[in-house]
A and B are shown apart, each in its own frame.
Chain A
Amino acid sequence: MRGTPTVATPEGRTDLRSWARTHGMTPVLWMVVPGVVFMLVFFIYPLLYGVSLSFQGKGGPLSAYREFFTDGFRNDNGSRESIWITLELALAASIINVAAALPIAYRMRGLVRGKRVITAIVLVPMTLGTVFIASAMNTFLGPAGWFNRAVLVIGLVDRPVTLVGNFTGVLLSLVINGFPFAFLLMLGYGSGIDPSLEQAAAVLGASPRERFRLIALPLLLPGLTITFCLSFILGFGVFPSATLVGNDAGPTRVISKIAYTEYSNAQYATASATAVIMAVIQLAVIGLVFWGRSRLYRGSTAGGKG
């Protein structure tokens, strides 16, 4: 009778241990702690802090947002317009990048030899960085650069084409920076598709176009969606090229430039509000893309044109 508690204690402990083990709670779990702490300190806390800052405008909780949408920032103008400029830039760059990367990655599917060489070549522009590319663009594509001189000599145009210092300049820079990224991502997805699937479709009577539309495209679609979204996020936060090869006082006054100006003038509430607006727009676009994909996916597989 008296022995019962002393027996129960070790049993209870082993029970707890085996329960923890069967539920995946092993000592290895401690290795997660640094990551969680890092996330809390450097991501979750600043995020919450920033969001709460955005509600601390001088004229009430929503005043910073109101000012943003009524172009009422003291140090900035064109804040509302900047949404459209940034959206246009990021969407145009993502569409161009994905559209250009898709056919090349599709052609290279199943390729083993030469893939590494091509990957290395494509990686070079990524390593150069935005600033280097921007200064190169200013030199080559500027009014007195070799591009304009060349087209003038050939006689294609009678006065220099403006390729930098405007929307086109920033878009070009975004494409040059983003294409290798989109291409590498698409290549990964493309080479993951078993070539025998298209062979099977061919034997079953599918023409090359039907093979692409009914087999390759639906299988590439998840990769296409991810690539588009990442490309969009990269473009939406664009800041250096908008300043260096664009004109951030007017036509390429992007939303991150607005946030930067507010921040450097110690207007933390409006700066934070701008950042929150950025995040909401990006989430909205990504949500829209995924929703569209789920619709398209069903559409292209079930029934079709039968």
Chain B
Amino acid sequence: MEHADRIEEVSGPARFSELTVDGLRREFGGFTALNGLDLTIRGGEFIALLGPSGCGKSTALNLLAGLLEPTGGSIWLDGRRIDTVPPEKRGFGMVFQNYALFPHLTVTENIGFGLRMRKVDKKTRTERVRKVLDLVQLGSQADKHPGQLSGGQQQRVAIARAIVVEPQLVLMDEPLSNLDAKLRLDMRTEIRLLHQQLGLTTVYVTHDQAEALSLADRLVVMRDGVVQQIGTPSEVYEAPSNAFVASFVGYRNALDAMLTGRGVDIGGITLTVAADRELPSSGRAVAMIRPDNLVVAEPGAPGDNPVPFTVRVCEYQGATFAVEGAGQGGTVLHAQSGRPLVPGEEVVAHISPDRILVYPDPGQQAISREELRLVAGGEHH
């Protein structure tokens, strides 16, 4: 009983008004996994921590859960400091990447575990478990063991187990990464739907920009333990704060550029940049362009910023074709085409001046070009 009271004491009402993370740090030996995270989460918000593996997003989540101790900084829940409170007394819910369902307990017992720890009486427990089972459409699987369920069903049990205690904060650690592509899309929608229905404050960790953009109210883009940008999906998508964030949210073309007045020179071709776009002061820069903004034109058609290149690969994508080609000087270009192209074909693509983002050369920001390409090419599609 005493134990249950202590949970209540910390968790208080189901909805908090503000959770503040202040300069949160975590080192492992000499390695800094999280280097000073500052973040304020409002009650009911859906926050996504986005970044490549090793960026510190999972570390941040484990610190919030209490599964790791911070080596610096603090976490405040409505003015109460909680970073020293053990996980069992925080009253949060968590969905693990591998689901972490108890293999020796049935679905019902798994979901009821948190309620049992809170000393909820058996009748109420059964009722609440049944309700949440209906919510995740698993009513018929109630008496099965986790091993008898499919990946998607296990995923639902994991979510049900986390939300049945009506936690004031739900933490999700790449919950969809073990599912196949179609199921991932379905579950993504279900998670968003659950959040809309229950209004549970959620912190969601992912390396998938599409997941983060579609689910979250606000994104926290991270790299090497440092926050790169915090903003709404459209802010991050339309106005990435730097070349790294841009490449992470789909600006696949990262072109070496020299500033020339109101434009940039990308190896012999000068691109005009819209007047309202901010430009670095001078010198070496990098131009970031989304493939769907670099559109292959009909032969001879007029347009802004013509970029000639030789087609190398043309992939069918339904409504359009994704084209990879070699520009002048061998620069790799990712473009879009409305018609099929043949490898070796010489074409011209156009880019609107207001669709070019120009950032100072990453070398000056200590981001390597290799890394940009790696992120741009590997982590999203």
Contact = CB atoms under 8 A, between A and B. Distances in A.
Nearest to A297: B104
Contact of A201 (B66, B86, B90, B113): B113
A203 to B, nearest CB: 4
A218 B105 CA distance: 10
Given A203-B92, A205-B7, A205-B114, A215 B102 contact: yes
A122 to B, nearest CB: 28
Interface stretch (A94-102, A143-151, A191-199): A191-199
B100 A204 contact: no
B144 interface: no
Contacts of A302: 109
B171 to A, nearest CB: 8
Size bracket, chain A contacts: 20 to 34
Interface in A250-306: 297, 301-304, 306
Contacts of B105: 301
A203 B87 CA distance: 5
A202 interface: yes
A304 B98 CA distance: 26
B88 A207 contact: yes
B86 A202 contact: yes
Contacts of A214: 113
A204 B161 contact: yes
Given A202-B87, A204-B165, A306-B122, A196 B113 contact: no
Nearest to B125: A306
Contacts of A301: 104-105, 109
A207 B109 contact: no
A143 B304 CA distance: 102
Given A203-B88, A205-B7, A205-B91, A219 B103 contact: yes
A53 to B, nearest CB: 46
B135 interface: no
A11 interface: no
A203 B102 contact: no
B96 A199 contact: yes
Contacts of A297: 104
A199 B104 contact: no
A157 interface: no
B240 interface: no
A202 B171 CA distance: 14
B117 interface: yes
Interface in A209-240: 210, 214-215, 218-219
Size bracket, chain B contacts: 35 or more
Contact of B65 (A203, A207, A218): A203
Contacts of A206: 88, 113, 117
Contact of B88 (A202, A218, A219): A202
Interface in B124-182: 125, 161, 165, 171
Contact of B87 (A194, A197, A199, A215): A199
B117 A204 contact: yes
B70 interface: no
B139 to A, nearest CB: 20
A200 interface: yes
A196 B100 contact: yes
Among A196, A204, A219, the most chain B Cβ lie within 10 Å of the Cβ of A204
Contacts of A202: 66-67, 86-88
B65 to A, nearest CB: 6
Among B86, B91, B92, B103, the most chain A Cβ lie within 10 Å of the Cβ of B103
Given A201-B113, A202-B67, A204-B161, A194 B88 contact: no
B94 interface: yes
Contacts of A303: 122
Contacts of A194: 98, 100
Contacts of B87: 199, 202-203
A211 B116 CA distance: 13
Contacts of A197: 100, 102-103
Nearest to A221: B104
Contact of A306 (B91, B114, B116, B165): B116
Interface string B75-119: 000000000001111111110101011111100010001101111
A197 B89 CA distance: 17
Among A197, A200, A206, A210, the most chain B Cβ lie within 10 Å of the Cβ of A200
A197 B165 CA distance: 18
A164 to B, nearest CB: 44
Given A205-B88, A205-B165, A200 B117 contact: no
B3 interface: yes
A210 B65 CA distance: 18
A210 B117 CA distance: 9
A213 B92 CA distance: 22
A2 to B, nearest CB: 58
A204 B114 contact: yes
Contacts of A204: 88, 93, 113-114, 117, 161, 165
Contacts of A200: 94, 96, 100-102, 161
A218 B104 contact: yes
Contacts of B125: 306
Contact of A205 (B100, B101, B117, B121): B117
B347 to A, nearest CB: 51
A302 B66 CA distance: 28
17 contacts: A196-B100, A197-B100, A197-B103, A199-B94, A201-B113, A202-B88, A203-B87, A204-B88, A204-B161, A204-B165, A205-B88, A205-B91, A206-B113, A206-B117, A301-B104, A303-B122, A306-B119
Closest 5 CB pairs of A and B: A205-B117, A204-B114, A200-B100, A196-B100, A202-B87
Interface of A: 194, 196-197, 199-207, 210, 214-215, 218-219, 297, 301-304, 306
Given A202-B87, A203-B67, A203-B93, 5 more contacts: A197-B100, A200-B94, A202-B88, A303-B122, A306-B125
